[in-house]
Chains A and B, each alone.
Chain A
Amino acid sequence: MSLTTNNINQNELRKLAAREGYTFFGLTVPYLIMVTALIAIPVGWLFYLSFIGRDGTFSFENYERMWKSKAYIKIFITTFKISILTTIICAAIGYPLAYFMSQLSRRWANICMIGVLIPFWTSLLVRTYAWLVLLQKKGLLNNIAIDMGLISEPIKFVHNTTGTLIGMVHIMLPFLILPLYANMRAIDKDCMKAASSLGAAPSRAFWTVFLPLSLPGLLAGLLIVFVLCLGFYVTPAILGGGKVIMAAMKISSNIELYFSWGAASALGVVLLVVTGIILFIASKLVSIDQLGSR
C-alpha cells in the first residue's frame, strides 16, 4: 500500500501548515529590523569606536584613561548611587499610591491615573526648571518657610544630591506606578479576603499575600526606573549644580574634551557592561520566575 493513497492531502496540508508558519514568523520581521537597525548596529558601532584612539587607530587609550582617573570611578559610583536612591524613593512613594489606586473603583482609579500621568504631558525640561524655581535658595518653598518662621536660613534643596533626587523621583514615579498598578489590579481581591477569613490580620495578610503577589509588578517598575536613571542627563545637570556628575554628563563632556567618539563610547560601553552585570546578579538573587506567576 502506498503512502499517498493512505494519507489523503497530507503533503498539501503540510505545505499549508508551513505557509502559516512563515506568515506567523513574518510578524516579527518589523521588530527584527528595528532591533538590528536601532540596537544591534549602534551598540556594535559604539563598541568598535571605544577602541579607536585619538589618532584613529586601534587603541586601549579610552579605557586606560578610565582606569587611571579617579574621577571616572567617582562618576560611576554617583551614577549608581543616584539611580538606586531614586529607585528606592520611587518605590517608597509609588507602592502605597499604587496600592491605594488599586483598591479604588475603576472610575476613581482612572481619575487618579490621569493625575499620575499629567506630568508626562509636560516637557522634562520645563518640569526640571520648575523644581529649580520652587526649591532654590530664594525660591517659593524657602520663602514660604521663612515667612512662616519655620526656618531662619534657607534650606539647600537644589544644586546638590537632594535636588537631583527630587527632580528624578518626580519624573520617574509614573514609570514605577504603571506596571505596579496594573499588577495590583490583576491580583484577585478574594485572595486578601481568603487570607483574612483564614485568620490573617490586615498587616499579616499584606505581607504574606499581597506583597508577594505584587512583587512582579514592583520588580518590573524598579527595573525600568533604575535603568532609565542610569542614563539621566538633563535633571542632574540642572538640579545637581554641577556637583552631581552622572555617566551621561561625562559622556557628553568627553566628546567636548577629547573631540573623539572613542572617549565617549568607552564610557558608554562600561556603563552598559556594568549595568548588565548588576541586572544579571539581581536576576540571580531574585528570580522573577519563582514569584507569583499564576
Chain B
Amino acid sequence: MMKGLRSVGLIAAAGLAFSSTTAFADELRIVSWGGAYQKGQSIGIFQPAAKAMGITVKEDTYGGISDVKLMVKSGADKFDIFSSGAGSCASGAAEGVLEKLDYSIIDVSDHLPGMYSDYCAGADIFSVVAAWNTETYGDNGPRTWADFYDVEKFPGTRAMRNKVDAQLETALLADGVPMDQIYEVLNSEAGIERALDKIRTIKPHIAVWWSSGAQHAQLMKDGEVDMTTGWNGRFDVAKDDGAKVAYDWRTGIMDWEGYGIPKGAKNKDLAMKYIAEMMKPEYMAEFAKYITYGPTNGKVYELGLMEESRAKMMPSHPDNAKHQLTLSTEWYSKWRTIAAEMYTEMMTE
C-alpha cells in the first residue's frame, strides 16, 4: 500500500527533481522500502556503516526502480544508492540507468553463489511465501501452492499481489510444474497464459490485490483475508506483533535484494566505498536480528555471527532453501513488461 502511494509521490518527485538537494562530499543519500524492512537496514547496516566510515548517510523511501529510471532520465539528482530487488536492478541495468559496480573496491569474494551482479551487490535473501491465518486453519493451512489454489480443501479469502512479480510461479507450481521447469514453461506467452488461467480459477476468492508489504502484513494481522502471498520477513514481524500467521518454506520463492548506484550519482566514488563497507558480515548479521532476511555473505555463518535458532528462520538457511524455487532474474529482464501487461488484463477482467 505504502508503495502504491509512493508512486503518487514519484510524479511529484519528478517535479521537484529540478530543485534537487545538494550533495556534500562526505554525505550520502540512500533510499529503500520503508517499514519494518528499512528499520532493520537502518539500525543494522546503514547507520553503523556510516559511523564506521565517519560519513553522514541520509535515508529516504522510494517507489522502486521506476523512480531511479525517471530520476536518471530527467537528469535529476536525489539519491546516491538505492536498495532494490535483483530483478528490478537487472531491468534498470538493461535501460542503462545504473553505474557498473567496481568489484575491486566492493569485496564479494565471500558471497553465496549468484548473489551479486554487475550492477547490484547482494545484501539479503528473502522469499515470497504463502501465509495463512492460523485462526482459520490452525496448523493445517495451505502448506503448498497446490493447497493455496485449492478452494475446496481450503475455503476462504485470498490475497495476491497487484503486480506480476513472483505470482505466476505460484500458479505453475500449483499446477504441478516441477521447480526446475517453471521458467522454461514461462518462456512463452502461452506459458504465461497458462499461469494466468490458473490464477483465474481462484480469482473470485481473491478479496484483495495487495500493493505493498506493509499492506499484506496488515491484512493478515486484521484477519481480513485467510491467506496471502507475501514476503516472509513481513509475516515474521507481524507474528512477533501478535498476528495469527504461519507459512511453510515449501511455498518459498527465493529472491535477493542488493544495492545499486544510479547513473551519474554525484557521490559515486563514496557510494562505492560505502557499499563495500555494507557488505561486511557483521552488518548483515545485525540486520537479520530485526527481520528474517538472510545474509548474502557466507561469512556470517562461517564466523558464527548468527545464533543457530535465528539462522534457521532465514530463507537462505540450507534446510529452508532446499524446498524453494529461486527466482530467475534473467526471466524477469526478458518478460516482465509483457507478463505485467497480461497480469493487469487478468486482474481487470
Spell out A's residues near B (CB within 8 Å). Answer: 69-71, 74-75, 78, 125, 136-139, 156, 159, 233-234, 237-238, 241-243, 245, 249, 252-253, 255-259, 261
User: Would you give the 0/1 interface string for B195-227, flagging 1 where the beta carbon is closer than 8 Å to chain A?
Assistant: 000000000000111110000000000111000
Give the Cβ gap from B104 to chain A, nearest Cβ, in Å: 30
Which residues from 44 to 79 on chain B have a C-beta closer than 8 Å to any C-beta of chain A?
63-64, 66, 69-70
Give the residue of B66, B211, B348 whose beta carbon is less than 8 angstroms from that of A71. B348
Give the Cβ gap from A66 to chain B, nearest Cβ, in Å: 12
**Contact: A159 with B345, CB < 8 Å?**
no
Nearest-CB residue, chain B, relative to A129: B1
In the complex, chain A residues whose CB is within 8 Å of the CB of B8? 233-234, 252
**Contact: B1 with A159, CB < 8 Å?**
no
**Contact: A242 with B347, CB < 8 Å?**
yes
In the complex, chain B residues whose CB is within 8 Å of the CB of A234? 5, 8
Give the Cβ gap from B10 to chain A, nearest Cβ, in Å: 7
**Is B349 an interface residue when CB atoms closer than 8 A count as contact?**
yes
User: Would you give the 0/1 interface string for B1-34, flagging 1 where the beta carbon is closer than 8 Å to chain A?
Assistant: 1001101101100000000000000000000000
**Contact: A259 with B224, CB < 8 Å?**
no
Q: List 8 A-B contacts (CB under 8 A).
A: A159-B207, A249-B4, A252-B4, A252-B8, A253-B344, A255-B7, A256-B7, A257-B340
In the complex, chain B residues whose CB is within 8 Å of the CB of A159? 207-208, 224
Give the Cβ gap from B87 to chain A, nearest Cβ, in Å: 13
Ordered nearest first, which 7 A-B pairs have the shortest CB separation?
A242-B209, A241-B208, A252-B7, A256-B66, A242-B162, A71-B348, A259-B69
**Contact: B341 with A257, CB < 8 Å?**
yes
Q: From known contacts A241-B208, A242-B347, infer whether A138 and B341 are also in contact, taking CB-CB under 8 Å.
A: no
Instruction: Please report the C-alpha to C-alpha distance between residue A233 and residue B222 in the assembled complex, in whole angstroms.
Output: 23
**Contact: A242 with B69, CB < 8 Å?**
no
Instruction: Please report the C-alpha to C-alpha distance between residue A261 and residue B10 in the assembled complex, in whole angstroms.
Output: 12
Most buried by B among A125, A156, A237: A237
**Contact: A138 with B224, CB < 8 Å?**
yes
**Contact: B210 with A242, CB < 8 Å?**
yes
Give the residue of B163, B224, B344 whose beta carbon is less than 8 angstroms from that of A137. B224
In the complex, chain B residues whose CB is within 8 Å of the CB of A156? 207
**Contact: A69 with B223, CB < 8 Å?**
no
Nearest-CB residue, chain B, relative to A238: B1
**Contact: B347 with A245, CB < 8 Å?**
yes
Nearest-CB residue, chain B, relative to A234: B5
Nearest-CB residue, chain A, relative to B6: A252
**Contact: B64 with A256, CB < 8 Å?**
yes
In the complex, chain B residues whose CB is within 8 Å of the CB of A125? 5
Give the Cβ gap from A134 to chain B, nearest Cβ, in Å: 12
Give the Cβ gap from B73 to chain A, nearest Cβ, in Å: 8
> How many contacting A-B pairs (Cβ < 8 A)?
80
**Contact: B1 with A252, CB < 8 Å?**
no
Q: From known contacts A156-B207, A242-B347, infer whether A252 and B223 are also in contact, taking CB-CB under 8 Å.
A: no
**Contact: A242 with B349, CB < 8 Å?**
no
Instruction: Please report the C-alpha to C-alpha distance between residue A109 and residue B70 in the assembled complex, in whole angstroms.
Output: 49
Instruction: Please report the C-alpha to C-alpha distance between residue A75 and residue B347 in the assembled complex, in whole angstroms.
Output: 11
Instruction: Please report the C-alpha to C-alpha distance between residue A35 and residue B10 in the assembled complex, in whole angstroms.
Output: 23
Give the Cβ gap from A41 to chain B, nearest Cβ, in Å: 13
In the complex, chain A residues whose CB is within 8 Å of the CB of B348? 70-71, 74-75, 78, 245
Instruction: Please report the C-alpha to C-alpha distance between residue A130 and residue B349 in the assembled complex, in whole angstroms.
Output: 29
**Contact: B66 with A255, CB < 8 Å?**
yes
**Contact: B223 with A138, CB < 8 Å?**
yes
**Contact: A253 with B207, CB < 8 Å?**
no
**Contact: B7 with A253, CB < 8 Å?**
yes
Give the Cβ gap from B155 to chain A, nearest Cβ, in Å: 13
Instruction: Please report the C-alpha to C-alpha distance between residue A50 and residue B11 in the assembled complex, in whole angstroms.
Output: 16
Instruction: Please report the C-alpha to C-alpha distance between residue A69 and residue B349 in the assembled complex, in whole angstroms.
Output: 11
Give the Cβ gap from B170 to chain A, nearest Cβ, in Å: 16
**Contact: B11 with A252, CB < 8 Å?**
yes
Nearest-CB residue, chain B, relative to A70: B345
User: Would you give the 0/1 interface string for B253-295, flagging 1 where the beta carbon is closer than 8 Å to chain A?
Assistant: 0000000000000000000000000000000000000000000
Instruction: Please report the C-alpha to C-alpha distance between residue A159 and residue B207 in the assembled complex, in whole angstroms.
Output: 7
In the complex, chain A residues whose CB is within 8 Å of the CB of B7? 252-253, 255-256
**Is B240 an interface residue when CB atoms closer than 8 A count as contact?**
no
Q: From known contacts A234-B8, A242-B208, infer whether A256 and B1 are also in contact, taking CB-CB under 8 Å.
A: no
Q: From known contacts A71-B344, A237-B1, A253-B7, infer whether A258 and B337 are also in contact, taking CB-CB under 8 Å.
A: yes
Give the Cβ gap from A147 to chain B, nearest Cβ, in Å: 16
Give the Cβ gap from A286 to chain B, nearest Cβ, in Å: 32
In the complex, chain B residues whose CB is within 8 Å of the CB of A237? 1, 4-5, 211
**Is B95 an interface residue when CB atoms closer than 8 A count as contact?**
yes
Nearest-CB residue, chain B, relative to A250: B344
Nearest-CB residue, chain B, relative to A69: B345
**Contact: B223 with A74, CB < 8 Å?**
no
